[in-house]
Amino acid sequence: MPLIIRRLERTDRREQFDCGDGPLNDYIRRYAWQNQEAHLVGVTYVGVESDHPQTVIGYYTLAASSIPTESLPRDAVSHLPPYMVVPVVLLARLAVHSEFKGRKVGPALLGDALGRCADIGLHIGCRYVIVDAYQTAVDWYSEYGFIPLGGAAPGAKTQKMFIDLRTVEHGRKTQ
Amino acid sequence: MPTKAVLAKAKTSVRFQADLTPKEAAMLDSLKEQLEIRSNADLLSNTLAMLSWLVRERREGRIVASFVEDHPVHQLVWPLLERVAPEYELPRVQIDWTSEELASFAKHASAEPATPTPALVRILARR
């Protein structure tokens, strides 16, 4: 069944969403809509099948962020654009309903997210996508070219990774 | 002894200093001449008014363009301005970084971008 990926709508059925991870389930069931429409802290895109167009089978959330240039080592700053901050897009969450695992929904969502980030990047001058991945998902993101960053806080359950949007743009042109 | 007027101005104005390249300084002088503006402060004040207008227009979803009748419209495409465009604006969040993570990011980010992996090429083809 063809997968449709679009922005989350109020009428989407997401209360049954279960990816096997409590916080990711809670987010789409309880917070995603409010965060998108009321609090403006993330825009969620959902995957639905064409025969059940309101039932969420996967989702991802994007938000904008930035890294203050002054917090980066001086020798690295000379290679970056001459602004006070480095704009980045945060891929805040990505999850797939357990029943749909192994059906390439995750890769489809990631491809859509990165393509969307590249489009945004072309318009607003953003260069990097950051993801704060569960340790169990690090290999999965690495397969698509995300680079793990060293120096996580002691006891951190997640691993920060990034991908350069020029790599994504190159990937789009390679097809 | 400073006059009352000088003291009042000192209290209400903020001093602004900028380092410009010789090319930018020449551009500044040229603009002042063309627009018959005497001081850098006046030029900055007018530039701020213009930039505020551009931001307001783009934030409301309007495209800024110039045209001459019967000729193609020239649209202003300025990545900095697109950051406030409603169609591209994403909500902003703060990411907590350790200094080691930032150093690692800076090291990787200043290198040449990686070649896309076959898996990345595959998933981008679907979109």
CB < 8 Å to B122, chain A: 107, 111
B83 vs A71, A124, A132: nearest CB: A124
How many angstroms separate the CA of residue A172 from the nearest CA in chain B?
6
Please judge whether B110 and A110 are an interchain contact, meaning their C-beta atoms are less than 8 angstroms apart: no
Is B98 an 8 Å CB contact of chain A? yes
Query: A124 pLDDT band (50/70/90 cuts)?
Result: confident
- Work out how many domains chain A is built from and give that number: 1
State the average pLDDT for chain A. 88
B95 vs A35, A65, A174: nearest CB: A65
Structure confidence at residue A140 (pLDDT): 96
Structure confidence at residue A2 (pLDDT): 84
Give me the residues of A, 69-98, that contact B with CB < 8 A.
71-73, 75-77, 79-80, 86-90, 92
Structure confidence at residue A94 (pLDDT): 96
Please judge whether A167 and B116 are an interchain contact, meaning their C-beta atoms are less than 8 angstroms apart: yes
Closest C-alpha among A90, A27, A89 to residue A58:
A27
Q: Closest chain A residue to B89 measured between Cα atoms?
A: A64
C-alpha dist (Å) from residue B40 to B25, B30, B48, B51: 11, 12, 12, 16
- A153/B100 Cα distance (integer angstroms): 9
List of long-range contacts for A98-103, beta carbons under 8 Å, 24+ apart:
A98/A18, A98/A19, A98/A20, A99/A57, A100/A57, A100/A58
Burial of B43 (0-12, 13-18, 19+ CB in 10 A): middle
Please judge whether B101 and A108 are an interchain contact, meaning their C-beta atoms are less than 8 angstroms apart: no
Where residue A93 falls (left for φ over 0; alpha for ψ -120 to 50; beta otherwise) is beta
Structure confidence at residue B2 (pLDDT): 65
Structure confidence at residue A79 (pLDDT): 65
Radius of gyration of chain B (CA): 23
For residue A114, give the CATH number of its domain: 3.40.630.30
Low-confidence ranges of chain B (pLDDT < 50): none
Is A132 an 8 Å CB contact of chain B? yes
The model's pLDDT over A128-175, given as tens digits with 9 standing for 90+, comes to 999 999 989 999 999 999 999 887 777 788 899 999 999 999 999 987
Structure confidence at residue A77 (pLDDT): 64
Residue whose token pair is 């953003």:
A126
Structure confidence at residue B93 (pLDDT): 79
Full residue range of the structural domain in which residue A121 is found: 3-174
Structure confidence at residue A125 (pLDDT): 76
Instruction: Name the H helices within chain B.
Output: 4-12, 22-35, 40-59, 79-82, 99-109, 118-125
Give me the residues of A, 112-131, that contact B with CB < 8 A.
112, 114-115, 120, 123-125, 127-128, 130
Contacts of B121 (CB under 8 A, 6+ apart): A171, A174, A175
Please judge whether A87 and B123 are an interchain contact, meaning their C-beta atoms are less than 8 angstroms apart: no
- B85/B8 Cα distance (integer angstroms): 39
Query: Which tokens hold the place of A44?
Result: 């969620």
| Domain extent listing, chain B | 4-92
Q: Which residues of B55-83 are buried (b: 16+ CB within 10 A; e: fewer)?
A: eebbeeeeeeeeeeeeeeeeeeeeeebbb
- Of A69 and A105, more confident: A105
